[in-house]
Chain A
């Protein structure tokens, strides 16, 4: 092994690799030196041996030299022996022999000065052998098919059959060990019995049993030094969701998930401990089975108006294939991801095959989904009344009213509930899953397939389909030195929705209730004058088709004991083709009655990335502690391609998806971008008796997004934990503390989420031309000198388990400081540009308190009840920003306030005389202007958020319910006076009606009165347009029943009923406090499913 470190700056890393390498070398020397620590006493009956992985033959030689005893054995006896690891000081000879032969298939006999080694016969020759049989079952009496039975101290054993029965031949002295995955081990001495029935207790999800995936390594919950949260497959399975990110909503402190809209395929915003970056991205780094997964949407809003360009790549991941999702939050956990860990790291691990006989799992579930809440809008009668008042207010005589809905052109007795018509569909979701898992102790495989269809709440024939296959194989060589894990998943997905979903949502709330019906009597679309038919628009379809291949291979080889070489190889390929088709039939036929007006815009995009990560792992016990050292490197490359095209004028609407049929074709963009990334990382962990733990991680990495001298940077973190409950004085004095840990960490990670190539001096090819010449425009003021954004994270945490872990509390305080902000430094326009990409000396601080509480309320044979609760109090603050007043952020941010503020007009209420809103004139110049009078600051930061989960089980019944809550202020558009279209019924009660009225809302207006119109416009950007949007939501309810196996032979069957987003308690007036301004907001889902395991 040769390490070549040529870059001298590398050594400035502080506690970097150099140090780690030194430790590695020193430790190796120590190990070799201590292998044969020889006691000076010769020919004594006492023996001192300190050996690590030494062959038995050498041990015998050693004992011979120390004691003078001779050994007698057959070669084949001793060659079958395992390597010996013992640490003995002045032990009696027999003890030494017992220790060295422990677990070996070898017994000894001392005759005089000779020790005879013989191969053990099954059990003990002297003991009578008999047949033991029995049944292994769980606490509910269900047989545990596939459970292991092992004779202690041997490798002999058997496996329970499908009824949980076993038979084994043992001696009376033997001890049987019963085990089954997910259950506590049980040991039973055979004695004189002939039948041994055992009941295995299910392992309760206790902290100490949990293992966390920390990316390049795994760590036990109790021994972790960093902040890592986990959601497992059980929690995911309770939720009828299509995007796995949704499963995290409210489940983890410090992790905030916000949906962008309630459509299948739409994305979620994920913020781990707040917004750190002003202008670079705030997305966490996503890793699926060790391979980075780009969360950026591959479409653009010019093609996908439906999703506003945000078609989530995560909707390609089948939630049922996921074993766990871990989120890394603090410096200790994220620094190993270096330049990309600033916003946290989200690790997704897929399920893998299990040991044992072939297990089949088939499940089917079906859901119905509907929009939870609509606006309450005026009826036709109320509408006409309100408009007449508005016209009267604006001085328009009733005879001069042109509006068809009011002047009698449209019948006053017609009423259509447009919300119900346009958004009132019940979406149907069908989901079918099948998987098979099989394997022995060396090789396990899993094959899983799923197919899902989902229709939409939006009017029309909209269907989203997804099929996926996951194949996994794990293999370990018999000598356990070579391991390989293969994972491949392939997903196909396609879907269609109206292009103008957003405006359909708008039409649903604004169309006059007596507007004409969308269809004429002959079934054709109604294009009556003065009526914009929403169903005509709905015929423009946005379609998307995606293919994704995720492939990952991990190979490892134990070169010498304690030292393992590992390589992680990954490839991800995603392809997207999406297009919006606008048939001419959606347009007003009198003006556009020809298919030459039909058009299509199309996007063809692909993303390919590969990653190679060689690593070396080294584990060694030193004194009472264990040292783990990891060093590795990352090579990553990603290529994004995009081709944007459009076509106009098709001979027929049938040909809309064939661009060659268009009479005019445009290429709106053709691009290929490359991103490369390279890193060297290391981790050093020392764990002293599971009591004192230190963890040091470091990374040096380079990204192609920075100029030649700025490509590399170093990141590192230090974490430490003290499990004080292991201290004797705690055990004695405070016995009710069953577990106690104090941990802290400090370190840095970075952010390179800016666009590619920004350091380069380039000209961009524009899609615009002049007189046939395509233009090139200078892309930017180029600056090759900018570098990483840096996020320094500090955290302290106290984890406590009380009363035998019946009560567990974790309290964490964190402080993240983001500096070196990658923003556009504001430049005077005389430079030709308004900003220069550079590191600005701005500072953003995120602090917060996270509390997690788990309680075991009942733990009885048939009844269990556990509760877990989490809450986060976040605080965001812009600490510094040089030249803020002159920058483009002048109207957006204020130093000392959070990044989530808005500067608004201050509404002084409705003038009782004029009936028009008045606003505060901050600079008293007699004019309300946006520059000078938008001074009222509202902070939209969430004050606190969290979740409360309960799990109850009674015999074969399981009940889970989960509440999510949040306190914040948000846009409250529901109660306002619009100048056209329908209104909320709340306006009726709250509007100004006549001079002297003290009203909350201003007078009705049609926009003809410019003062009222302007006031209505200003209200949207005033404090009054925002309201408390705190809520408590019953996010999830799940009831499951498992049919006892006494009824179904050889098969486990469970039935479940789940509900998502069922109830919301809030003062907020709009449909969904989480998605202000969205008509298609929260959608409640009810799901019924059945699952078979056999």
Chain B
């Protein structure tokens, strides 16, 4: 009888599990790498289409929405503008984004090291991952202020990172998006559905980042390149803006097979389909529209309750998720934003006429007359208002606009009783600071 422990070392070798693939193999084959990318897309879809995504929470936080459902305690802290460092939802926003950033970095590193995938495919996949990295950091920086910018998968490094000033983060995002633009192709993968990232998608976000970081000229030229692109034309019929084949769309997330964007589930209220999450539009939001604004009649629905009260709800999306076939996808970037980006950039650059012209394009489409604003300040106020009624309940646009334009405190201070000036930034999750002493807390927490 021979006991040979060396022989046993080989006895203990096991085949990898059938449902898993050894990490290093993933980036040696195009289809596998694409699958790793699909996972980020799906993450996005999963989060953006769930009630726990920040669109809804910010809607409650900034008074766009109010809540009548049965899980009040889940949303309470946001409704009261009392988000504490220990808040688990807040922690979720932070950690889910960084998880997706890890995935994007893994793909970027994988593509850099891959020896077997062709250059064109490699560029495309890497470009998409770069876009995601920038997009995720963009939301983190707007929710939390200074944040760690993560560009590696190395956990020994990532567990000791410090916060980077906002402007530096934007510089990294610009670099990522320029790189992505260079790597990505110009065409969409499908002729009708705009559900994958291409050069223009990166460009649209780049234009926004320029605007947010005050690089007006670059913002103007980047948005112009999109406005003049024949791929994108504004839907004149406002009820078609959110349909999957809308020409306004620059990038939307395709719903799961034969489903619709789940925004419908959260916001639509009607007699035959009552949402279990009752997120209703506030009167403040319903009253924000000018009287003849078609968006008021086409994007907002109302019902009279049995008690005789009128309730309002968002009806940008008209379909409930499992009504087949798919009609609506979740829109993340659309051309209307580029007009408003250019209007704002032009206003700052002193091109008042040009700014008014872009603003009026959006207004006229909604059945409104030209703007009266003529000075920079008036124009900025008009643009902020326009953004509020154009982009309500679209991934926190109005909140970010108020903040960067310096109106958050005035606006929210008047409508939210629990508002403090420091509430413009959310707290860095308590556990993050406990685990990484290099991180500091935001003021007021």
A interface residues (Cβ-Cβ under 8 A, vs B): 1-7, 10, 400, 402, 565, 614, 616, 633, 635, 641, 669-678, 680, 700, 702-704, 708, 711-712, 756-757, 760-766, 768-771, 773-779, 781-782, 826-834, 836, 883, 885-888, 890, 927, 929, 931-932, 1007, 1010, 1013-1014, 1017-1018
Contact = CB atoms under 8 A, between A and B. Distances in A.
B291 interface: no
Interface stretch (B32-40, B49-57, B351-359, B379-387): B32-40
A762 B17 contact: yes
Interface string B172-196: 0000000000000000010001011
Contacts of B12: 676-678, 702-704, 711
Interface of B: 1-6, 8-9, 11-24, 26, 32, 34-39, 41-42, 45-46, 70, 72-73, 76-77, 80, 82, 84, 86-87, 91, 94-95, 98-99, 101-103, 105-106, 148, 150, 153, 155, 158-159, 161, 189, 193, 195-196, 254, 256-257, 306-307, 429-436, 439
B16 A614 contact: no
Given A832-B101, A836-B155, A771 B17 contact: no
13 contacts: A3-B2, A7-B6, A633-B3, A703-B12, A711-B9, A763-B32, A765-B21, A769-B257, A774-B35, A832-B99, A886-B431, A929-B82, A1014-B72
B111 to A, nearest CB: 14
Given A635-B11, A764-B19, A778-B106, 10 more contacts: A3-B2, A712-B5, A757-B14, A760-B20, A770-B254, A775-B42, A776-B39, A778-B102, A782-B23, A831-B159
A673 B16 CA distance: 7
Contacts of B8: 678, 702
Contacts of A763: 20-21, 23, 26, 32, 35-36
Contacts of B34: 773
B20 A757 contact: yes
Contact of B159 (A3, A669, A828): A828
| 5 closest residue pairs by CB, A with B | A832-B102, A886-B434, A931-B86, A829-B95, A775-B39
B16 A757 contact: yes
A1 B1 contact: yes
A829 B1 contact: no
Contacts of B13: 676, 704
A19 to B, nearest CB: 16
Nearest to A677: B12
Contacts of B86: 929, 931-932
B432 A760 contact: no
A669 B19 CA distance: 8
A830 B159 contact: yes
Contacts of A702: 5, 8-9, 12
Contacts of B11: 635, 676, 678
Contacts of B80: 927
Contact of A5 (B3, B37, B435): B3
A830 B150 contact: yes
A886 B433 CA distance: 8
A673 B70 CA distance: 42
A756 B6 CA distance: 22
* Interface-central residue, A763, A779, A1013, by most chain B CB under 10 Å: A763
A830 B46 CA distance: 20
B3 A929 contact: no
A678 B155 CA distance: 32
Contacts of A1013: 70, 72
A889 to B, nearest CB: 11
Contacts of A781: 155
B22 A1014 contact: no
Nearest to B438: A828
Contact of B3 (A3, A712, A770, A779): A3
B14 A831 contact: no
Contacts of A4: 2-4
Nearest to A781: B155
Contacts of A614: 1
Contacts of B3: 3-5, 633, 680
Contact of A890 (B6, B21, B153, B431): B431
Contacts of B431: 826, 828, 885-888, 890
B155 A831 contact: yes
Contact of A770 (B21, B24, B42): B42
Contacts of B153: 832
B72 A829 contact: no
B159 A776 contact: no
Contacts of A836: 155
B103 A883 contact: no
B254 A771 contact: yes
Contacts of A931: 84, 86-87, 430
A830 B99 CA distance: 7
A1007 B70 contact: yes
B84 A674 contact: no
A828 B435 contact: yes
A934 to B, nearest CB: 10
A771 B70 contact: no
A775 B3 CA distance: 44
A671 B18 contact: yes
A929 B434 CA distance: 20
Contacts of A2: 1-2
Contact of B98 (A3, A671, A830): A830
A833 B155 CA distance: 9
Given A680-B3, A771-B195, A830 B17 contact: no
Given A828-B436, A830-B98, A762 B23 contact: yes
B103 A778 contact: yes
Contacts of B436: 828, 830
A635 B22 CA distance: 26
A716 to B, nearest CB: 16
A886 to B, nearest CB: 3
Contacts of A1018: 73
Nearest to B84: A931
A559 B55 CA distance: 78
Contacts of A829: 91, 94-95, 98-99, 429, 432
Contacts of B193: 771
A885 B429 contact: no
A828 B432 contact: yes
Contacts of A887: 431, 435
Contact of A762 (B16, B99, B150): B16
Contacts of A1017: 73
A266 B427 CA distance: 45
A760 B16 contact: yes
Given A757-B20, A829-B95, A833-B99, A776 B1 contact: no
Given A5-B3, A771-B195, A776-B39, A757 B17 contact: yes
Contact of B14 (A676, A775, A1007, A1010): A676
A929 B84 CA distance: 9
Nearest to B147: A830
A1046 B150 CA distance: 89
B379 to A, nearest CB: 39
A761 B6 CA distance: 24
A714 B306 CA distance: 73
Q: In this complex, which of B5, B91, B148, B254 has the most chain A Cβ atoms within 10 angstroms of its Cβ?
A: B5
Contacts of B161: 830
Contacts of B26: 763, 776
Nearest to A772: B257
A302 B65 CA distance: 34
A610 to B, nearest CB: 13
A851 B194 CA distance: 73
A781 B6 CA distance: 29
Given A775-B36, A883-B434, A7 B5 contact: yes
Contacts of B36: 763, 775-778
A832 B98 contact: yes
Nearest to A640: B17
Nearest to B254: A771
A303 B347 CA distance: 60
